[in-house]
Amino acid sequence: MIELRYLGSFIAVAETRHFRRAAEQRHLTQPALSQQIAKLEQVLGVQLLERNRHQVTLTPAGELFLVEAQKVLEQADHAVHIAQRAARGEVGELSIGYVGSILYGFLPRTIQVFQERFPQIELKLQELSSSRQITQLQKQTIDVGVLYAPVHEPTIQVERILRVPLWIAVPARRRLARRERVSLPELGQEPMLLPTREEEPALHDYLIGLFQQAGYVPNVVQEASQIQTLLGLVALGIGIYPVAGYMRNMQHDGIVYVPVGEPGAHLELSMAWRGADKSPALHNYLEIVRAVVR
């Protein structure tokens, strides 16, 4: 096994052609340097240097070995640099799961900021329901999720990051579309669209509970797992759909977004990640999300 310090000492001698100057450069005594060169030659079984009182020259084997030794040290330095950058979360990859609606909220801004600060991190984005995000976190196929909480998994850490007002996506032809705001009690007779409980259990149960607090069981006419499907059904006039307030940024033919008047009517979004995951890239992203939503 050749020690890297031996290669460094050999390169210093080869470049200075002088043992004393090379020893000074390496912060070694001249005998210690000579001993390292001798050990290197012994390990290789090859003479690398010709020595006499006046000069040091490289043997033909030494000339070729110098080129390769320089490559080895450069690669070693590069490996150290990469490891240090990875420890700071500056290189590598990060896989992010997200519920579809958040594309119209804060997610794009967090991606933009992260890419500006850490351009050598490869980001992988997957639109997934909240339940699928938890599954993928457990399988370690995503690193962080943006979803609807609560989450009841002991290995998953969850942090609420945003509370947004509840709005209603309404077919443009319905009377509600002409209102400046609506109240929850007056939605009791309206045909309602909801996300499926299988895909969005926390969101589904929260909305059902919210309407029950308003005094009725909602008239759910259809459920779907994709927000694009639900909005498409609204545009067709099938029913109304409760959404986060930032969804009004998404223009959709045939849909009008109306705010809900009750101050307690809101939706909550959370970040979720494996509690044992100490990845610097992950925690850099978490900090960026916190800063953006603030």
pLDDT tens by residue, 93-138:
899 999 988 988 899 999 999 999 999 899 999 999 999 999 999 9
> What pLDDT, on a 0 to 100 scale, did the predictor assign at position 7?
86
pTM value is 0.70
Which domains are delineated in the chain?
Answer: 4-87 (1.10.10.10), 92-144+277-293 (3.40.190.10), 161-268 (3.40.190.10)
Give the torsion sign (CA, 195, 145, 243, 232).
Answer: negative
For the chain (294 residues), the mean pLDDT of every run of 10, in chain order, is 85 88 88 89 89 83 89 83 70 89 90 93 94 95 93 92 94 91 93 95 94 94 92 95 90 92 91 93 94 90
> What pLDDT, on a 0 to 100 scale, did the predictor assign at position 216?
93
> What pLDDT, on a 0 to 100 scale, did the predictor assign at position 91?
63
Q: How many residues does the chain have?
A: 294
> What pLDDT, on a 0 to 100 scale, did the predictor assign at position 90?
67
Beta strands in 84-179 (DSSP E): 92-98, 121-127, 144-147, 156-171
Number of CB atoms found within 10 A of residue 122's CB: 12
> What pLDDT, on a 0 to 100 scale, did the predictor assign at position 286?
96
φ, ψ at 255 (rounded to 5°): -125, 140
